[in-house]
Amino acid sequence: MNSIEKINIDNINFLTECFPHVWEVIKEYRPEENPEYRFNVEKAKSGAFTLTVNQSGKTLYIHSKYDPEQEAERLVAQFTEVSKYRQIFFYGVGLG
């Protein structure tokens, strides 16, 4: 078992134990559960990685296919008054 598989198993175990309802939704999108969905990581034009999903023969980009890092910077730049908060929590789909 490689480290990616180990991380995947650890994540599945965590979700199953702590958030079983979330795992029930997520597992529907696993290729072995639903072959219609195929998630892939590929290189964007900038060389950074981006996430795609192939659904019904179409490739949909979750992040920019040109420059996902610049896309993230633009998103974060919207929040101009963050210094007045002690804690900030971002939640979403990302590649780390």
pTM of the model: 0.55
Closest CA to 40 of 28, 54, 26: 54
* pLDDT of the residue at 9: 82
Residue 67 · residue 44 · CB < 8 Å: yes
Q: Which 8-state DSSP code applies to residue 89?
A: -
DSSP characters over 26-54:
HHTTSTTT-TTEEEEEEE-TTSSEEEEEE
- Per the model's pLDDT, the better-predicted residue between 15 and 38 turns out to be 15
* pLDDT of the residue at 35: 63
For 26-82, how does the pLDDT look when each residue is reduced to its tens digit (9 = 90+)?
Answer: 777 666 666 666 778 889 999 998 888 887 888 888 889 999 999 988 988 888 888
* pLDDT of the residue at 70: 93
* pLDDT of the residue at 18: 92
User: Residue 3: is its pLDDT beyond 60?
Assistant: no
* pLDDT of the residue at 39: 77
Angle (CA) 43-65-40 rounded to 5° is 55
